[in-house]
Amino acid sequence: MENKILSIMKDVFDVSDLDNTCTQETCENWDSLHHLMLISELEDAFGVEFDPEEMAEMKTFAQVKSTLESKM
């Protein structure tokens, strides 16, 4: 799951160097538009749907992973 999330994040944020320490503050291109794109890609890839509160909380790789794990 971790590698799949990182792959999606790299594609959405258009970066080649990204690891599991990525946060909204440290990751290049992680702005509000790219955040929504990330949410959409994650929902499609994992067959889940996030509610607005969950979307707002996903500001780090760890939070993204944790939220996804809670949906599986």
Residue 27 and residue 14 in contact, taking contact as beta carbons nearer than 8 Å: no
pTM (2 decimals)? 0.92
Q: How many Cβ atoms from other residues are within 10 Å of residue 19's Cβ?
A: 10
Convert the pLDDT of each residue in 2-58 to its tens digit. Answer: 999 999 999 999 998 899 999 999 998 999 999 999 999 999 999 999 999 999 999
Rounded CA gap, 36 and 52, in Å? 11
Looking at 3.40.1390.10, 1.10.1200.10, 3.30.110.30, 3.30.70.380, the CATH number of the domain 2-67 comes to 1.10.1200.10
What is the pLDDT, as a whole number, of residue 68?
Answer: 96
Residue 14 and residue 29 in contact, taking contact as beta carbons nearer than 8 Å: yes
